[in-house]
Amino acid sequence: MLFSSAIFLFLYLPLFLFVYYLLPKNWHNAFLFAASLLFYAWGEGPVVLVLLGSALINYVAGQLIERGRRRAGLWLSLVGSLSLLFYYKYANFLFDSVRGFAEAFALPASDNLTLSQIALPIGISFYTFQGISYTLDIYWGRIKANRSFLDYGTYVAMFPHQIAGPIVRYADIAPELADRTTTFEKFGLGAERFIIGLAKKILLANTFAELADTVFNAPPDSYPMATAWLGIVAYTLQIYFDFSGYSDMAIGLGKMVGFDFKENFNYPYIARSIQDFWRRWHISLSSWFRDYVYIPLGGNRGGNVRTYRNLLIVFLVTGLWHGASWSFIVWGLYHGIFLLIERAGLGKWLERIWAPVAHVYTLLVVMAGWVFFRAETLTEGLAYLRKLIGLAPPLGENVAFPPVILLNTEVVAALLLGVVLSMPVYHWFQRGWDRVQSRLTSGFLKTTLDSLYAIGLFGLFIMAVMYLAADTYNPFIYFRF
């Protein structure tokens, strides 16, 4: 079940909120836990048991650490959680890689190597990392283990953030798990954030997705270089509005039931370096790797060689976290190499030069990396890159996808709006709106402006729903992670 599906918007969410607010406060966690399991079981069926198994492993591990069996608890968490993740996410990839190696060297065993495809449980990468961070924080003495499996299970299974993040750390919401307040104002802020995220997903990301998929799925000799650039621009905007839109919806849903999740994006496409980009993109993931992988490896202590090694390890794992294929591994190492280059001196130069040049550099590097993220195979990714720089083979006799065929009024408007909204325009608007609101403490004008803003949000929601009803094309990139 997706947040941007009709069944969630008009059946699951209204019923959930209605019952949630009818129940006494001390029943909220139990209901949220049960409703979250139903949310997963709706589309996943028995695979929801994987989530429960992961939660139970880390709950027991936390209790063991708390009671003095520190190493046993830590090993249970790491081995248990990572074993589940490896089996469900990486077993097929490892098997296919071994079989490919055997076939490449004509080994006789390659004919007998078979493995059924293993279904990937929704959100497994997210709840695995959350469970590991929970036990590590207990191990390092940062938090106390939760004695209630119900409360801990609510944290792990909570449907608002579990499909696509942000990666919520137990320490950040432990007080709210124990005691949280829900007010009309907070609910309204949550609803506002949810509507904005829904609009980003339906009105923008889905429009870009159709364009990007058309180009990336077409034979390379059926479109010119200009179309290749149009395709990667569309995908660059698609993945941002798709993922940040889902994060907005998650943060909004959290507020509706009393939780304050941290921000996950901070306008990454205005970054002036790749280092700056990773401070702004999927903040919960990059900070997780910093705190639980990079720093334990030694961080930037011990000289440049060890620092570079640690960075490459982190971005190798970052690539693998995103997907089980060589394309994702290359994408992760690609970003890691540019971070090494910036640490070696390019970063200081980027700080001194004219800002637009640094922005262009960052965007070009990021967009080239998205080619590998989007391509199904390394071969396809390299072929697409050759098309972008004009080194592809000549076009065929029939050019099926010149840019003029793919561009219409709706697509052009979406592209322009996407470029504008990927900059802090809404942030500037919100700051200006808050200043106006602070000066209008009461009176007819304040009431009128508040009403107009609420009507505008409602209109945005209706528009998103109309687009959702008119078009069944509703992909979600991070659904597989």
On whether both 151 and 212 belong to a single domain, the answer is no
Tell me what the mean pLDDT of segment 381-408 comes to: 82
CA 447/CA 42 separation, integer angstroms: 42
pLDDT above 90 covers what percent of the chain? Answer: 65
Q: Which tops the pLDDT comparison, 445 or 365?
A: 365
474 band by pLDDT with thresholds 50, 70 and 90? low
84 and 51 Cβ atoms separated by less than 8 Å: no
Closest CA to 101 of 90, 89, 113: 113
The residue range of the domain holding 304 is 186-421
131 within some domain: yes
Closest CA to 163 of 236, 251, 68: 251
On whether both 315 and 206 belong to a single domain, the answer is yes
Express each pLDDT in 138-158 by its tens digit. Answer: 999 999 999 999 999 999 999
DSSP state for residue 145 in the 8-state scheme: P
On whether both 261 and 158 belong to a single domain, the answer is no
Express each pLDDT in 261-296 by its tens digit. Answer: 999 999 999 999 999 999 999 999 999 999 999 999
On whether both 168 and 193 belong to a single domain, the answer is no
Active site residues: 322
Tell me what the mean pLDDT of segment 171-179 comes to: 92
433 within some domain: no
On whether both 76 and 206 belong to a single domain, the answer is no
Please state the domain count of the chain: 2
Cα 39 from chain centroid? 19
- Within 10 Å of residue 478's Cβ, how many Cβ atoms? 18
Q: Which residue has the tokens 């708390």?
A: 66
CA 443 vs CA 88, 168, 183, 258, 437: distances in Å: 59, 40, 23, 30, 11
CA 451/CA 440 separation, integer angstroms: 14
470 within some domain: no
Closest CA to 157 of 195, 187, 117, 130: 130
Check residue 271 and give left, alpha or beta (phi > 0: left; psi -120 to 50: alpha).
beta
On whether both 88 and 119 belong to a single domain, the answer is yes
447 within some domain: no
DSSP code per residue over 419-471: HHHTTTHHHHHHHHHHHHHHH--SSHHHHHHHHHHHHHHHHHHHHHHHHHHH-
235 within some domain: yes
On whether both 248 and 373 belong to a single domain, the answer is yes
Q: Domain boundary at 149, 180, 211, which?
A: 180
On whether both 135 and 252 belong to a single domain, the answer is no
1 band by pLDDT with thresholds 50, 70 and 90? confident
